[in-house]
C-alpha cells in the first residue's frame, strides 16, 4: 500500500492487537475499516454508556475532495471538516478507511478525553449516583481507561462510521 500523501510504501505496525499502516516518511496513519472493526469487540461493556458524538449536527460537515488518495482503492480521499472538531479527517468513500496526518491522532485522543470527562462522563456519573462510581472502581480509574487507545479508537469509529451515510450523501452532491 502506498502512502495517501507522499506515495511511499506504508509500513505495518501492531498496536495493542490492531494492525495499522503508517508512513515512515510523513508519519501519517491509515486505518482501514476492518482494522477498526477489530476494535469493536473490545471494551464493549465499558463503552455502552459513553454517549458522546463529536459530529452530532450533520449540517456542520464541510467536505471537499482531497489531494490525497486511498492507499487501498487509489481513489481520491475526501477531507471532512466539522465545526468544533480539531482535526480534518481524510476518508475514502469507497472502502471507508481513514487517513490521519502526523499529530492528528493525538489531537483526536485529547479531544475525546476532554469531551468524555468534562461533559458526558461527569454528567453520567452524577445521574447514576455515587454507589455506582465506587462499585465501578472510582472516577480516576475510569479516566485512565478512557485514555486507553482502544477505547478512544472505538468511540471514534462508532461515531464517525455512523455518519458515513450522511457523509456519502454530501459527497454525492459535490460538484464535479
Residues of this chain that bind Zn ion (CB under 5 A): 3, 5-6, 23, 25-26, 70, 72-73, 92, 94-95
Supply the minimum distance, in Å, between the C-beta of residue 73 and Zn ion.
3
- State the Cα angle at 3 between 175 and 75, rounded to 5°: 30
Of the two residues 28 and 116, which places its CB atom closer to Zn ion in the complex?
A: 28
Of the two residues 9 and 162, which places its CB atom closer to Zn ion in the complex?
A: 9
Supply the minimum distance, in Å, between the C-beta of residue 22 and Zn ion.
9
Place of cell 502512502: 3
Count CB-CB contacts under 10 A for residue 92. 25
Instruction: Tell me the CA distances in angstroms from 153 to 6, 31, 88, 128, 157, one per residue in order.
Output: 25, 10, 16, 25, 6
Of the two residues 25 and 65, which places its CB atom closer to Zn ion in the complex?
A: 25
Supply the minimum distance, in Å, between the C-beta of residue 6 and Zn ion.
4
Amino acid at each position: 500500500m502506498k502512502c495517501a500523501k507522499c506515495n511511499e510504501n506504508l509500513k505495518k505496525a501492531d498496536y495493542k492487537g490492531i494492525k495499522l499502516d503508517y508512513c515512515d516518511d510523513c508519519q501519517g496513519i491509515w486505518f482501514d475499516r476492518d482494522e477498526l472493526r477489530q476494535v469493536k469487540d473490545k471494551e464493549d461493556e465499558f463503552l455502552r454508556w459513553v454517549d458522546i458524538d463529536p459530529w452530532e449536527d450533520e449540517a456542520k460537515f464541510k467536505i471537499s475532495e482531497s489531494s490525497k488518495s486511498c492507499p487501498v482503492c487509489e481513489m481520491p480521499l475526501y477531507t471532512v471538516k466539522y465545526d468544533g472538531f480539531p482535526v480534518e479527517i481524510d476518508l475514502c468513500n469507497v472502502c471507508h478507511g481513514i487517513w490521519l496526518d502526523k499529530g492528528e491522532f493525538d489531537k483526536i485522543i485529547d479531544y475525546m478525553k476532554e469531551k468524555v470527562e468534562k461533559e458526558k462522563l461527569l454528567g453520567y456519573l452524577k445521574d447514576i449516583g455515587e454507589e455506582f462510581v465506587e462499585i465501578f472502581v472510582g472516577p480516576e480509574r475510569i479516566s485512565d481507561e478512557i485514555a486507553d487507545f482502544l477505547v478512544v479508537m472505538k468511540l471514534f469509529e462508532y461515531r464517525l462510521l455512523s455518519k458515513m451515510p450522511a457523509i456519502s450523501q454530501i459527497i454525492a452532491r459535490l460538484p464535479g
